[in-house]
Amino acid sequence: MMADSGDTIGIIITHGTLAEQLKETVNLVLGRVDDLFPVSSGDLSDSDIVEEIKRIITGSGGRRVVMFVDYCGGSCFNNCFRAVKGLENVVIISGVNLPVLLDFATKREIMDFDEMIDHLVKRGRESISCDRI
C-alpha cells in the first residue's frame, strides 16, 4: 500500500460552532492533530466563509484538501463549492462525524489518497447504527 495522503489537509465546515467542537474532540482523543482546520458559520457571512476556506487552501502550499461538511446542500456545502471552483485535488465529503475525522487523522499517513477517500465515506456510513433493546 503506497501512502500518499500525508500531504493532505482537512477542513471541517459546519453551521454554528460544530467544526470547532469536532476539532477539539479529535484533539482530545488523539492529541493535537495538525492540518485539520475548523470553519464554522457562526456569525460569518457566506463570503467570509468562502474567503476563510480559500485562505486555508492557499496557505497549505498546494497540498490535497479534504473538506468535511455537515449537511449536503446546505449553505456551508454550497460555500465549499464556491471556494474551490476551478481547483484540483479537492474532495468534499458531507455528513461529517467524529469517526470519519478520527480515521482521517490516523489513516492519511498510511493510505493511498483515493483509498483513504473511499474508506472515509464507508466509515461514515458504517458509523451510523440503530440498536433497539
pLDDT of residue 27: 98
Residue 80 is which amino acid?
C
**Domain coverage including residue 85:** 5-122
Banded pLDDT at 4 (limits 50, 70, 90)? low
Report if residue 31 sits inside a domain.
Answer: yes
Report if residue 128 sits inside a domain.
Answer: no
Task: At 93, list the grid cell.
Answer: 465529503
Q: What share of the chain is helix, strand, coil (3-state, %, to 5)?
A: 45, 15, 35
Banded pLDDT at 1 (limits 50, 70, 90)? very low
Q: Higher confidence at residue 9 or residue 2?
A: 9
Report if residue 127 sits inside a domain.
Answer: no
Report if residue 20 sits inside a domain.
Answer: yes
Please check whether residue 57 is in contact with residue 83, taking contact to mean a CB–CB distance below 8 angstroms: yes
Report if residue 56 sits inside a domain.
Answer: yes
Q: Average pLDDT for residues 38-46, to the nearest whole number?
A: 91
Report if residue 50 sits inside a domain.
Answer: yes
Banded pLDDT at 133 (limits 50, 70, 90)? confident
Number of domains the chain is built from: 1
- pTM recorded for the entire structure: 0.93
Residue 18's closest CA among 38, 47, 34, 37? Answer: 38
- The SS3 assignment for 115 reads helix
What does residue 5 show for φ and ψ, rounded to 5 degrees? -90, -5
Banded pLDDT at 5 (limits 50, 70, 90)? low
Report if residue 12 sits inside a domain.
Answer: yes
Name residue 14's beta-bridge partners.
40
Report if residue 110 sits inside a domain.
Answer: yes
The CATH code of the domain that includes 103 is: 3.40.50.510
